[in-house]
Amino acid sequence: MNNRTNYSEDVLLMAKYAKALAHPVRIYILKKLSKMNSCCYSGDLVDELPIKRSTLSQHLKELKYVGLIQGEIEPPFIKYCLNTYEWEKLKNIFSELLND
């Protein structure tokens, strides 16, 4: 199948999520946020991860692009939270795949 339109919406969504999950830093961020009852400031993540702030920013941008996280600016900080609606969609769609 060469044409994307031949794939179901679920398959395309799963591929989009899989691409976003394709880096250990992004998985770390999602795991951390999923265990928190509140949001996390990007500066806190920089202190925990062995990467530069600009690299972290790129990873956060990718997760935000697919909708798995959302950011809120509180000058001079940016805090990030899971987008619980998208997080549930991700869990459900991969659960379906793994249970088939």
**Tens digits of residue pLDDT in 66-84:** 999 999 888 888 899 999 9
Q: What is the pTM of this model?
A: 0.86
Q: Which domain holds residue 16?
A: 10-99
CATH number assigned to the domain comprising residue 81? 1.10.10.10
pLDDT tens string 27-39:
999 999 999 878 8
Is 2 part of any domain? Answer: no
Of 81, 84, 59, the residue nearest 71 (C-alpha): 81
Is 33 part of any domain? Answer: yes
- Bridge partners (DSSP) listed for residue 69: 82
Cα 86 to Cα 57: distance, rounded to the nearest angstrom: 20
Is 92 part of any domain? Answer: yes
Is 4 part of any domain? Answer: no
Is 1 part of any domain? Answer: no
Is 61 part of any domain? Answer: yes
- For the chain, the domain total comes to 1
Per-residue pLDDT at 2 exceeds 70: no
